[in-house]
A and B are shown apart, each in its own frame.
Chain A
Amino acid sequence: MKVEEILTGGEGEKLFLLGNEAAVRGALEAGVSIAATYPGTPSSEIGNVLSRIAKEAGVYFEFSSNEKVALEVSAAAAASGLRSFVFMKCVGLNVAADSFMSTIYEGVRGGMVILVADDPSMYSSQNEQDDRLYARISGSPLLEPSDPQEVKDLVKFGFELSEKFKLPVLLRTTTRVSHMRGVVELGKVKKGKAKSTFERNSSQFVVLPANARRMRQELIRKLEEIEEFANSCELNRIIDKGGDSGIITSGSSFNYVMDIVDEYKIPAKVLKLTLSYPFPEKLVKSFLDSVKQVTIVEEVEPVMEKEVLSLIGKYGMQKRVHGKLDGAFPRAFEYTPDIVRESLSKSFDLNLPPKEPVKSDIPLPSRPPVLCPGCPHRATYYSLKEAVKSLGIKNIIYPTDIGCYTLGAAPPYEMADYLLSMGSSVGTSCGFARATDQRVVSFIGDSTFFHAGIPGLINAVHNKDKIMLVILDNRTTAMTGGQSYPGVPIDGMGDTAPEVSIEGIVKAAGVGFTKIIEPFNLRRAKEAFTEALRYSGVAVVIARHPCAQITARERRKKGIHIVFDVEQDKCSRCMVCVRDFACPAIYVAIGGSVHIDALLCVGCGVCRQVCPDNAIEVTK
């Protein structure tokens, strides 16, 4: 399948789509006008697809500077009467939370769908937060799809629901739904309005306390109406496989439940909640009346389990409830079919034997993710480490940030000591500079700097903190797959755009020491770092070189293919390139000789500068 088919695929046609691709199609079928995001796994592909097809689809799409801005762009569009779609990863909603809360209070005129992709088991996130709780804090209706077909259908339905109740709708996926691929039957693409007119109404759109108090009551009334709708809505359905035991489930867990119930022929009534907040009390109450006991199968937090328990308490019912709280299901990490089988055997008191897997006792090498061959961050870490060594500074604290360079935590660089969230490197540097007498050297990526690093830097200047900040500018949002951001001359639509200067911002903030370096020139980079480390105040070094993925693409296009190898007669096996530089293309063969893997080498040549024997040469 080609990406364009997500737009051009006709009604009734079937495509094998990723959950994230299906989300785009759903928005297109709903006639979305405006879409915005800040990229974050597991939601990134939604933006990648939109950036490819938005123009042709007649949709405005942007990679906003952060999730809060993306939500605000979307909220204003919806307040103006357009259908708008904003999407982000789980923790992105923390960044957007302030405006998110108010958007729910104020409500919308055009439909607004907020997609959040949770990441149980934290494949690429810093925590396992359950964004279903955000529906409850804010009072936004919540949709939980289980597979790509439902993602598409529910994004579309979300817009209708949003317009019906004049309220933004939260749609929560998880990694296993966003990154699930399945057969999706397409509906019809609808062209959205390009522009609308905002009609002023400050009592609706300005959260002054007096207005907010009225909005709060209005929101409660809306939620009561939606709950009534959720009680009879066909999205919440019962699959009756007999027996007098019930299962309540949603999202990805529903898939595991159905596969296990089918395979082991478990008699159970399964209630699938898809419009799961406001919690449909009447529907659940009558479901509970039809069963003797109930098992709640949900990932991360016991959210529905507590709703069920409170309902049982409210009506004085006598039912056994199994789930996370009685220990039948594990509290942490994502579920799997194996976990659901084991846990259902406990709660249903059944013997559901697993198939015996094959086992091996051979110890296996670990294979953690690494910085790519040719990654400019490696060169930066290397020369900074050399500078630190030559100055003999001990006990440096290295606050770091979110991006590929977080991998700098690994040996041999080991320059990542403290990390909280996007942009936290700078703010925490200020704290360390105050709390200790240690030297503070922190790292932040280019896109992350624009996202949330700037306020921290301004804080450092104003409060006269002695910190050194390295801005790793690789000209892209690399970790999430290479999206554009305000520092590059191209926008989310693929059009040329003003490039916002990092050094311009740094200087305007009043930073006393600013240097831009080419990290591939190790000697110069070391000199710049040495100077910065000697500076007493806020020093910023911008290490600028394109991401290895970008240069690899350019080389392929131009047909350039250079690789390096080690000349064995010159190599003294000092291991500097292996142990200190640690490019994954360089390896030690059995017998101890050092080589460069021609498949992995991208020809950056930085290892040549590292080699004391001058033994690394271009392969002829």
Chain B
Amino acid sequence: MNSIYKIYLTGVGGQGIIRAATIIGEAAMKKGLRAVMSELHGMAERGGIVTTEMKIGDACSALIQKGSADLLLALEPVEALRSLEKVGPNTTAIVNSAPIIPFTVSLGISSYPEVSQIITELQGKIKNLFIIDALNLARKAGDLITLNIVMLGAAAAIPGFPVGKELLLASMKGTLPASTIEVNFVAFENGYETVLGEMQRE
């Protein structure tokens, strides 16, 4: 059972979470591994929460038990907090620090915590934590829409991540529109190098 790698991806509708997860799954398949993922479509896509659960290895179901994700990939900081149920002592987390404020906050029905408070909370709860400004890294790559690929690159830098960079890049080529490949490759590198840099500093 140790050979099963469990990834929990979360964020907001429109961020490209399913796309990022599919790229990982296809890369795993090309490596000859089993991969399963569970996505939710439909109503949630309209600015709601989107989560995708996946397992690489010999698992039947894609759904992850409480406290047992190997990797949490959160494309939005509050959504990282909302996913803590899947996080346990052995979870590594990569969290994008750029918030997306839900309209319920503008309407005054709910409130959004300070990002610094979210980060402090996550730091206190997760040992292996990487906070990255993925939005800024996507901007540097040349298109804000590549945020999901920044996060994908960041994941690829984590030791134990089941598929290597080359396979992921190949899978991106087969999935993303040809005209966007170049900017996406830069975005991937931006995420990859940021996490690698942080690990070397530690």
**Are the C-beta atoms of A479 and B43 separated by less than 8 Å?**
yes
When chains A and B are docked, how far (Å) is the Cα of A182 from the Cα of B25? 8
Given A254-B60, A584-B47, CB of A358 within 8 Å of CB of B84: yes
**Are the C-beta atoms of A356 and B88 separated by less than 8 Å?**
yes
**Are the C-beta atoms of A364 and B78 separated by less than 8 Å?**
yes
**Are the C-beta atoms of A179 and B48 separated by less than 8 Å?**
no
**Are the C-beta atoms of B104 and A45 separated by less than 8 Å?**
no
**Are the C-beta atoms of A372 and B39 separated by less than 8 Å?**
no
**Are the C-beta atoms of B60 and A578 separated by less than 8 Å?**
no
**Are the C-beta atoms of A123 and B86 separated by less than 8 Å?**
no
**Are the C-beta atoms of A179 and B46 separated by less than 8 Å?**
no
Chain A residues engaging chain B, CB cutoff 8 angstroms: 1-2, 14, 16, 18, 41-42, 44-45, 123-124, 146-147, 175-176, 179-183, 252, 254-256, 258-259, 262-263, 336-338, 341, 354-360, 362-372, 404, 407, 411-412, 479-481, 578-579, 582, 584, 586-588, 599
- B106-114, B154-162, B184-192: which one contacts chain A? B106-114
* A-B contact list, 13 entries, CB within 8 Å: A2-B174, A124-B44, A181-B35, A181-B36, A183-B34, A337-B64, A358-B84, A362-B121, A364-B110, A366-B110, A370-B46, A372-B47, A479-B42
**Are the C-beta atoms of A369 and B46 separated by less than 8 Å?**
yes
Given A254-B60, A363-B111, CB of A480 within 8 Å of CB of B81: no
Given A181-B22, A182-B36, CB of A362 within 8 Å of CB of B29: no
**Are the C-beta atoms of B39 and A179 separated by less than 8 Å?**
yes
Q: Which residues of A contact B22 (CB under 8 A)?
A: 1, 16, 181
**Are the C-beta atoms of A180 and B37 separated by less than 8 Å?**
yes
Q: Which residues of A contact B86 (CB under 8 A)?
A: 357
When chains A and B are docked, how far (Å) is the Cα of A18 from the Cα of B36? 10
Q: Beyond the given A365-B112, A367-B47, A411-B107, please list 6 additional residue pairs across the A-B interface where CB-CB is below 8 A.
A: A16-B35, A181-B21, A358-B126, A364-B81, A367-B79, A411-B109
**Interface size bucket, B side?**
35 or more
6 A-B pairs with least C-beta separation: A355-B67, A124-B42, A255-B61, A41-B42, A369-B48, A357-B67
Q: What is the CB-to-nearest-CB distance from B28 to chain A, in angstroms, rounded to a whole number?
A: 8
Given A255-B61, A256-B61, CB of A372 within 8 Å of CB of B125: no
Given A146-B60, A179-B40, A371-B46, CB of A355 within 8 Å of CB of B65: yes
Given A365-B104, A367-B104, A599-B144, CB of A183 within 8 Å of CB of B29: yes
Q: Which residues of A contact B116 (CB under 8 A)?
A: none
Choose among B26, B102, B110 the residue that contacts A1 (Cβ–Cβ < 8 A): B26
When chains A and B are docked, how far (Å) is the Cα of A404 from the Cα of B47? 12
Q: Which residues of B contact A182 (CB under 8 A)?
A: 34-37, 62
Q: Which residues of A contact B87 (CB under 8 A)?
A: 357-358
When chains A and B are docked, how far (Å) is the Cα of A220 from the Cα of B45? 45
- B63 located at the interface, meaning its Cβ lies under 8 Å from any Cβ of chain A in the complex: yes
Q: Which residues of B contact A584 (CB under 8 A)?
A: 47, 102-103
- B85 located at the interface, meaning its Cβ lies under 8 Å from any Cβ of chain A in the complex: yes
When chains A and B are docked, how far (Å) is the Cα of A481 from the Cα of B29? 27
Q: Which residues of A contact B35 (CB under 8 A)?
A: 16, 181-183
**Are the C-beta atoms of A123 and B40 separated by less than 8 Å?**
yes
Choose among A18, A336, A356 the residue that contacts B67 (Cβ–Cβ < 8 A): A356
**Are the C-beta atoms of A123 and B44 separated by less than 8 Å?**
yes
**Are the C-beta atoms of A1 and B109 separated by less than 8 Å?**
no
Q: What is the CB-to-nearest-CB distance from A538 to chain B, in angstroms, rounded to a whole number?
A: 31
Choose among A42, A146, A368 the residue that contacts B104 (Cβ–Cβ < 8 A): A368
- B196 located at the interface, meaning its Cβ lies under 8 Å from any Cβ of chain A in the complex: no
Given A254-B60, A369-B13, CB of A337 within 8 Å of CB of B65: yes
Q: Which residues of A contact B38 (CB under 8 A)?
A: 176, 179-181
Q: What is the CB-to-nearest-CB distance from A454 to chain B, in angstroms, rounded to a whole number?
A: 25
Q: Which residues of A contact B25 (CB under 8 A)?
A: 16, 181
Given A263-B1, A362-B117, A365-B105, CB of A180 within 8 Å of CB of B62: yes
When chains A and B are docked, how far (Å) is the Cα of A124 from the Cα of B46? 12
- B66 located at the interface, meaning its Cβ lies under 8 Å from any Cβ of chain A in the complex: yes
A interface footprint on B44-88 (CB within 8 Å = 1, 0 otherwise) = 111111000000000111111111100000000011011011111
When chains A and B are docked, how far (Å) is the Cα of A181 from the Cα of B54? 9
Closest to B175 in A: A1
Given A183-B29, A256-B61, CB of A357 within 8 Å of CB of B41: no
Closest to B62 in A: A180
When chains A and B are docked, how far (Å) is the Cα of A360 from the Cα of B78? 11
- B118 located at the interface, meaning its Cβ lies under 8 Å from any Cβ of chain A in the complex: yes
**Are the C-beta atoms of B67 and A367 separated by less than 8 Å?**
no
Q: Which residues of B contact A42 (CB under 8 A)?
A: 41-42
**Are the C-beta atoms of A258 and B48 separated by less than 8 Å?**
no
When chains A and B are docked, how far (Å) is the Cα of A588 from the Cα of B47? 17
Q: What is the CB-to-nearest-CB distance from B103 to chain A, in angstroms, rounded to a whole number?
A: 4
Closest to B145 in A: A599
Q: Which residues of B contact A147 (CB under 8 A)?
A: 36, 60
- Residues in B95-145 with C-beta less than 8 Å from chain A: 101-107, 109-113, 117-118, 121, 125-126, 144
When chains A and B are docked, how far (Å) is the Cα of A357 from the Cα of B81? 12
Q: What is the CB-to-nearest-CB distance from B128 to chain A, in angstroms, rounded to a whole number?
A: 12
Q: Which residues of A contact B43 (CB under 8 A)?
A: 41, 123-124, 369, 479
When chains A and B are docked, how far (Å) is the Cα of A412 from the Cα of B112? 19
When chains A and B are docked, how far (Å) is the Cα of A312 from the Cα of B38? 36
Choose among B29, B46, B110 the residue that contacts A404 (Cβ–Cβ < 8 A): B46
**Are the C-beta atoms of B106 and A587 separated by less than 8 Å?**
yes
Q: Which residues of A contact B110 (CB under 8 A)?
A: 363-366
Q: What is the CB-to-nearest-CB distance from A557 to chain B, in angstroms, rounded to a whole number?
A: 12
**Are the C-beta atoms of B102 and A365 separated by less than 8 Å?**
yes
Closest to A334 in B: B63
Q: What is the CB-to-nearest-CB distance from B187 to chain A, in angstroms, rounded to a whole number?
A: 15
**Are the C-beta atoms of A337 and B40 separated by less than 8 Å?**
no
When chains A and B are docked, how far (Å) is the Cα of A357 from the Cα of B72? 13
Q: Which residues of A contact B34 (CB under 8 A)?
A: 182-183
Q: What is the CB-to-nearest-CB distance from A443 to chain B, in angstroms, rounded to a whole number?
A: 17
When chains A and B are docked, how far (Å) is the Cα of A255 from the Cα of B60? 5
Q: Which residues of A contact B1 (CB under 8 A)?
A: 262-263
Closest to B147 in A: A599
**Are the C-beta atoms of A358 and B88 separated by less than 8 Å?**
yes
A interface footprint on B1-31 (CB within 8 Å = 1, 0 otherwise) = 1000000000011000000011001100100
**Are the C-beta atoms of A337 and B126 separated by less than 8 Å?**
no
When chains A and B are docked, how far (Å) is the Cα of A51 from the Cα of B21? 25
Choose among A45, A357, A365, A582 the residue that contacts B85 (Cβ–Cβ < 8 A): A357
Q: Which residues of A contact B105 (CB under 8 A)?
A: 365, 587-588
Given A360-B81, A370-B46, A404-B46, CB of A256 within 8 Å of CB of B63: yes
Find the residue from A14, A179, A181, A586 having the highest chain B CB count within 10 A: A181
